[in-house]
Amino acid sequence: MMKFPEGFLWGASTAPHQIEGNNLSSDWWAREGLVPGMELSGDAVDSYHHYRDDMRLLAESGLNTYRFGIEWARIEPREGQISRAGLAHYRRMIDEALRLGLTPVVTLHHFTNPRWFAEQGGFLNPAAPAIFARYVTTVTEILDGVDWVITMNEPNMLAMMMMLQEQMRAGQQNEWQSPTVEGDSSRDQIAASLPTPSPEFGQRLVDAHHAVRDIIRERTGARVGWTVANQALTSTPGNESRLIEVRHDWEDFYLDAASGDDFIGVQSYSSQQVDENGLVPHPDHPDNTLVGTAYRPDALGMAVSHTWERTGLPVLVTENGIATADDARRIDYTRAALNGLHEAIAAGADVRGYLHWSLLDNFEWGHWGPTFGLISVDRTSLNFDRHPKPSLGWLGDVARRNSLTN
Ligand code: BGC
């Protein structure tokens, strides 16, 4: 029996664009219509209207924490035009979480931008930190009672997406590539050609993060951090120094920028090797997940240990999960991942909670096929009927006992 620390947060995560539906004023919505081969988010799973059902199912399972996001494009659909109704919507979500006894973990930016912000160059615009700070200041008005605030989701993946977009604009690249689905292109070995996010791009995001950190602390008293995608990188023999360089640009640069934060979010799915050419694409294997990544539940313990050693900050696992159509496999994966997490805690890592990705099957950035959810949704029904999977009950039991039995 593996006991987790007292007061451990157990929950699940979501992101607004992936679940809400009709995110009409966002850059992703605009892009989805233009790019061939990319599926549309459309109504998503209409969580904008069904968030109460989603939180109730989560709370009834035994989980105690819900991570969700505020969509900037709904708060500020045109530059400077603040939607009071948009703010009120997210306040109702926070109230509902608190009413159900759930700890809300609130993300302020999860990959999507308002379209007008993107048209001004997004985070490449020198004015971006000030513009982002203005939005964040507005949002602090509704954050009363929220203890955990994430400024930005996966700045390292966002920097990589910014580079891809720049390459497309410059005509060096004309095929769209999902940021999260491996091999989602006709090009061979796509993973090898995904650009390593250059710290030059990443620095823009660091500046934006630093611009809002103290604003949030001063106006709300919440703990502030950001979440970094961790690939649990290892080196092929003889490439140890290359690993250090590659890991710096993919992860450590963003972990180092968290210095002075209150916590660090760890997001882990798989593990990858580094050779002399950089990241080695996930080898083809029957066990690979529906997003093409290797089945590596041990990655979570590796990612948490590395993050803890590098930052010394309290760790919140803000995402971990698997894209699979086989829910028994989801349970196996999660059990093994929690084993690794428990080992990292036993070795000294200060870990405050585990939030599974994701509460719901959702829009996987251009695709509906890869299902990460603890709950499936019938998107053909008028009510977007929710169907909890056995994995939701299983994880809820772990949460209730605050321990894992093998
Ligand atoms: C992102 C999520 C995404 C998940 C699974 C993370 O990169 O934060 O938005 O759905 O991984 O691919």
355 lines ligand 1 (CB under 6 A): no
363 lines ligand 1 (CB under 6 A): no
Q: Which of 7-11, 157-161, 181-185, 402-406 has the lowest mean pLDDT?
A: 181-185
Residues 6+ apart with CB under 8 A from 367: 39, 178, 181, 184
Which position has the higher pLDDT, 173 or 353?
A: 353
Element containing residue 249 per DSSP (H, E): none
List the residue whose alpha carbon is closest to atom 11 of ligand 1: 180
How far is the centre of ligand 1, averaged over its atoms, from the C-alpha of 238 (Å)? Answer: 31
Work out the percent of the chain whose per-residue pLDDT is above 70.
97
319 close to 157: Cβ distance less than 8 angstroms: no
Q: Span 49-56, mean pLDDT?
A: 98
How far is the centre of ligand 1, averaged over its atoms, from the C-alpha of 180 (Å)? Answer: 6
Atom of ligand 1 nearest to the CA of 153: 8
117 lines ligand 1 (CB under 6 A): no
- Residue 185 CB neighbours (<10 A): 16
List the residue whose alpha carbon is closest to atom 10 of ligand 1: 364
364 lines ligand 1 (CB under 6 A): yes
28 lines ligand 1 (CB under 6 A): no
Q: Look up tokens 């093998």; give the residue.
A: 406
- pLDDT tens-digit series, residues 200-245: 999 999 999 999 999 999 999 999 999 999 999 999 999 999 999 9
| Per-residue pLDDT, 241 | 98
Of the candidates 146, 180, 184, 190, the residue with the CA atom closest to the CA atom of residue 357: 180
pLDDT category at 185 given cuts 50, 70, 90 is low
Atom of ligand 1 nearest to the CA of 179: 7
Show the DSSP H helices in 42-124 as ranges.
47-61, 72-75, 84-99, 115-119
Element containing residue 175 per DSSP (H, E): none
pLDDT of 174 > 80? The answer is: no
Tell me how many degrees the CA angle 119-123-125 measures, rounded to the nearest 5: 65
Q: Span 160-168, mean pLDDT?
A: 89
Given this structure, which CATH class describes domain 2-401?
alpha beta
Query: What does the alpha-carbon distance between residue 118 and residue 124 come to, in Å, rounded to a whole number?
Result: 9
- In order of 23, 91, 110, the CA distances from 136 in angstroms are 19, 14, 13
Domain boundaries, the chain: 2-401
348 close to 331: Cβ distance less than 8 angstroms: no
Strands 403-404 and 2-3: antiparallel
Q: Span 51-66, mean pLDDT?
A: 99
Atom of ligand 1 nearest to the CA of 365: 10
| Per-residue pLDDT, 190 | 47
- pLDDT tens-digit series, residues 269-293: 999 999 999 999 999 999 999 999 9
pLDDT of 187 > 70? The answer is: no
Atom of ligand 1 nearest to the CA of 321: 5
Q: Span 185-209, mean pLDDT?
A: 77
Position 52: which residue type? R
Mutate to test the pocket of ligand 1, among 71, 319, 320, 356 (most ligand atoms within 8 A of CB): 319
Residues 6+ apart with CB under 8 A from 62: 10, 395, 396, 397, 398, 399, 400
356 close to 395: Cβ distance less than 8 angstroms: yes
List the residue whose alpha carbon is closest to atom 9 of ligand 1: 15
List the residue whose alpha carbon is closest to atom 5 of ligand 1: 180
pLDDT category at 191 given cuts 50, 70, 90 is very low
Of the candidates 375, 373, 370, 374, the residue with the CA atom closest to the CA atom of residue 290: 370
Of the candidates 266, 254, 248, 391, the residue with the CA atom closest to the CA atom of residue 340: 266
107 lines ligand 1 (CB under 6 A): no
Mutate to test the pocket of ligand 1, among 180, 228, 290, 361 (most ligand atoms within 8 A of CB): 180
Q: Span 311-340, mean pLDDT?
A: 98
154 lines ligand 1 (CB under 6 A): yes
156 close to 254: Cβ distance less than 8 angstroms: yes
Atom of ligand 1 nearest to the CA of 180: 12
319 lines ligand 1 (CB under 6 A): yes
| Per-residue pLDDT, 193 | 58
228 lines ligand 1 (CB under 6 A): no
List the residue whose alpha carbon is closest to atom 12 of ligand 1: 180
157 lines ligand 1 (CB under 6 A): yes
Q: Span 116-121, mean pLDDT?
A: 97
Mutate to test the pocket of ligand 1, among 47, 108, 330, 365 (most ligand atoms within 8 A of CB): 365
Q: Span 377-389, mean pLDDT?
A: 98
Q: Span 23-45, mean pLDDT?
A: 93
Mark 80-97 as b/e (b = at least 16 C-beta within 10 Å).
eebbeebbebbbebbebb
List the residue whose alpha carbon is closest to atom 7 of ligand 1: 180
Average pLDDT, the chain: 95
Pair of tokens at residue 234: 């290892």
